[in-house]
């Protein structure tokens, strides 16, 4: 929880190690929660300027989000897609958007195509 709070406060350098550790220890059966925590970690990497790492984490998040039926997860995925939008020329970001487009139920007006 502390990692998420640091993300929201715009302190990615403090959030990143906390979130990475939490995700590594989290029960993988909790798909929705893992997806959400990955979204905050991806956001931290965007804030830190580590775009390839952010895109890799976001792609993992998209894969998990496809397995949930969660409006909150969908909202976070849309948010991360908007954050990564300016970096579409980066190969890992392009790969993320390929996965993002294949995620069910994301054909809303918020889809940054």
What global pTM score does this model have?
0.88
pLDDT tens-digit readout, 96-112: 998 888 776 654 434 44
Angstrom CA distances, 110 to 15, 76, 79, 102, stand at 27, 11, 9, 15
pLDDT at 100: 86
Give me the residue spans of the domains in the chain. 2-102
Please provide the CATH number assigned to the domain covering 2-102.
1.25.40.10
Q: In 10 A of CB 79, how many CB atoms?
A: 14
Question: What gap in Å lies between CA 45 and CA 60, rounded to an integer?
Answer: 14
Q: What is the pLDDT of residues 17-69, one digit of tens each?
A: 999 999 999 898 999 999 999 999 999 999 999 999 999 999 999 999 888 88
Distance of alpha carbon 98 from alpha carbon 108, whole angstroms: 16
Condensed to tens digits (0 to 9), the pLDDT of residues 87-97 reads 999 999 999 99
Q: Residue 33: which residues within 8 A CB-CB, separation 6 or more? A: 26
- Residues 51 and 92 sit within 8 Å (Cβ to Cβ): yes
């Amino acid at each position: 929880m502390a990692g998420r709070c640091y993300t929201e406060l715009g302190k990615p350098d403090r959030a990143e190690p906390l979130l990475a550790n939490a995700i590594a220890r989290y029960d993988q059966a909790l798909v929705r929660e893992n997806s959400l925590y990955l979204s905050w970690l991806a956001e931290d990497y965007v804030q830190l300027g580590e775009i390839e790492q952010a895109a890799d984490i976001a792609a993992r998040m998209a894969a998990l989000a496809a397995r949930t039926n969660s409006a909150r997860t969908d909202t976070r995925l849309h948010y991360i897609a908007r954050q990564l939008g300016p970096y579409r020329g980066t190969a890992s970001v392009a790969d993320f958007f390929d996965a993002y487009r294949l995620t069910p139920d994301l054909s809303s007006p918020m889809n940054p195509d």
